[in-house]
Amino acid sequence: MDVSGPSLEVRLADGRVLESRRIGGVLNRLIGIPDDYLSRAEEADRDYVEQEWRALLVSALLGLSRRAIPVVEPPHPYALSGRWRSPVEWSLLAARAGLAVRPWEWRDGLPDPGGPDRSSASVLVIGDRVLADGRLGAEIPAACRRLAALAGRATLQVELGTDEAGTAVFAGAGALPDFRSRGEAAVEALAAVLGR
Amino acid sequence: MILLCGIRSEAPMAMVARELDRLGAPVRWFDQRRSLETRLCLEVDGRGVHGILADTDGELSLDTVQAVYVRTMDDRLLPEVEGLRADADERLRVRSLHDRLMAWLEATPARVVNRGSTQASNASKPYQAQLIVEAGFAIPDTLVSNDPASVLEFRARHGRIVYKSMSGIRSIVKVLTDLDVERLDRIRWCPVQFQEYVEGVDVRVHTVGQEVFAARVTSWAVDYRYGSRFGAPDPRIEAIALDATLADRCRHLAALLGLEFAGIDLRVRPDGEVVVFEVNPSPAFSFYEERAGLPIAAAVAHRLAST
């Protein structure tokens, strides 16, 4: 990093070189530093090595996004795959986006929640595209898209449950969407987000 | 009600509590040292998050909390659980308690000084450095690398260079010496952050909302915070007045990072250029307040009480 801004060069073991000026887009699916790599460090150094690699990856990906390179998703210092949010935050954002949210509790003695309800359907938001089952109608996919926008994410997997009346209710959101579930449609949407 | 989250005896927490007491502001503690006796229940619905905090001081509705000062330590290192197995019941309970607290802090409409999400930038110094540049400040030329040849080339270009961690761990600044160069090959296992050595005068700036407190630091140590480890005498810390433009730029930087309260480490080069090293989102301000007589704790207390 200097007055001209950040730049990145990664020299791979096979001799190939990745340079920031040649990178056209990034699909970020990082979740952590692999255990087998960390296990090579002495135990006293392991936490340090992990935090240093995380700090480097976060800054490198931010640097790419600041060079107008699409990075999906930009990392956050606390989570490589993008800003981590608790189930509380997701519930409040989902309500603001227009999704039904059932009241729920988080207290001692209860398992930590993954979300307030069990999922029965998934909606995938990728950029402007919302990939969902047709039976959900138009309003719920639109609300899911608003939720992704409120969370500042280009991609999001929204889990939906069903209440006693059969209404779809918010059941959680995933920062690492399973793109495979929507096949070619997801690939095309991703390519559009990445500018391809 | 003002909630103080941390350890009562820790100097900055104790100083803010004392100032709040002077103001007559109602205070309640989330005392980490009482984590095992503390209960926190959250209720979430479409309109917001509500909760009850309960400990030996009784029950508190979190809806009554208008402001929070957060200076928590890593709960894994609390003496009450540190020696326990990772899967010990007490340790898991304390972790879950802190998860709930942090979730509430992110979601509450109360003023929080500072939220975890805004404190995060300091976990990656080169990440934060890019935000510092966006705020209009200069940063030292920086190289992060695990390639010894690149480091030697960087050193040849700048002459004197320093190295420090990128994360918050082992964050002590040291000059790269010839002795270090002999073991430079070790960086292949873990990249290291190197920076040009910046000549000039160290200044520590604390921003509390719109208030700005600055102190000049005089020390011959490369990293005055840890100078005593290397035989340096205590640094001299004196209150100074920043010029209005620089004070404004510091306020802008803290605001850009979303920080109600920040400690900005900068150095003024001999030619007057200001170089920012980092922004501490949970400043241990007591060190500066005690030596320079800056009323930082009072400003934090006012910020909390005026919500």
Question: How close does chain B come to A180, measured CA to CA in Å?
Answer: 30
Count how many residues are written for chain A: 196
Per residue in B254-289, pLDDT (tens digit) is 999 999 999 999 999 999 999 999 999 999 999 999
Nearest to A161 by CA among A89, A113, A96: A113
Q: Do B124 and A112 touch (CB under 8 A)?
A: no
B223 pLDDT higher than 90: no
Per residue in A89-136, pLDDT (tens digit) is 999 999 999 999 999 999 887 665 654 556 789 999 999 999 998 888
> Residue A150: pLDDT band by 50, 70, 90 thresholds?
very high
| Residue B18: per-residue pLDDT | 98
Q: Do B93 and A108 touch (CB under 8 A)?
A: yes
Query: For residue B42, what are its two tokens?
Result: 């959250």
Average pLDDT of the segment spanning B75-89: 92
Distance CA A147, CA B71 (A): 31
Query: For residue B77, what are its two tokens?
Result: 């290192």
Helix H or strand E encompassing B48:
strand B48-55
| Residue A112: per-residue pLDDT | 58
| Nearest-Cα residue of chain A relative to residue B150 | A9
Question: How close does chain A come to B155, measured CA to CA in Å?
Answer: 14
Q: In which residue are the tokens 């990772």 written?
A: B86
Average pLDDT of the segment spanning B87-96: 93
> Residue B220: pLDDT band by 50, 70, 90 thresholds?
confident
Tell me what ipTM this predicted complex has. Answer: 0.88
> Residue B230: pLDDT band by 50, 70, 90 thresholds?
confident
Q: Which domains does chain A have, with CATH numbers?
A: 9-72 (no CATH), 87-193 (3.30.470)
| Residue A195: per-residue pLDDT | 86
B68 pLDDT higher than 80: yes
Tell me the CA distances in angstroms from B187 to A67, B147, B177, B226, one per residue in order: 27, 7, 15, 23
| Residue A113: per-residue pLDDT | 61
B141 pLDDT higher than 80: yes
Count how many residues are written for chain B: 307
More confident: B221 or A129 = A129
Mean pLDDT estimate for chain A: 90
Per residue in B4-33, pLDDT (tens digit) is 999 999 999 999 999 999 999 999 999 999
**Helix pair angle (B125-134, B244-256), 10° resolution:** 130
Q: Do A55 and B42 touch (CB under 8 A)?
A: no
A78 pLDDT higher than 60: yes
Q: Do B191 and A52 touch (CB under 8 A)?
A: yes
Q: Could you say which of B107, B120, B169 has the minimum Cβ distance to residue A51?
A: B169
State what percent of residues in chain B have pLDDT above 70.
Answer: 100
More confident: A98 or B172 = A98
Average pLDDT of the segment spanning A176-189: 93
**Helix pair angle (B89-107, A87-97), 10° resolution:** 30
Average pLDDT of the segment spanning B115-129: 93
Average pLDDT of the segment spanning A78-83: 89
Mean pLDDT estimate for chain B: 94
Q: Do A48 and B189 touch (CB under 8 A)?
A: no
Contact B144, A59 (CB under 8 A): yes
Q: Do B99 and A112 touch (CB under 8 A)?
A: yes
More confident: B81 or B170 = B81
Tell me the CA distances in angstroms from A81 to A32, A89, A94, B147, one per residue in order: 9, 17, 20, 26
| Residue A118: per-residue pLDDT | 67
Contact B176, B164 (CB under 8 A): no
From chain B, the residues in CB contact with A54 under 8 A are 123-124, 167
| Nearest-Cα residue of chain A relative to residue B195 | A1
B159 pLDDT higher than 70: yes
Query: For residue B239, what are its two tokens?
Result: 């209150």
Q: Do B124 and A56 touch (CB under 8 A)?
A: yes
From chain A, the residues in CB contact with B167 under 8 A are 48, 51-52, 54-55
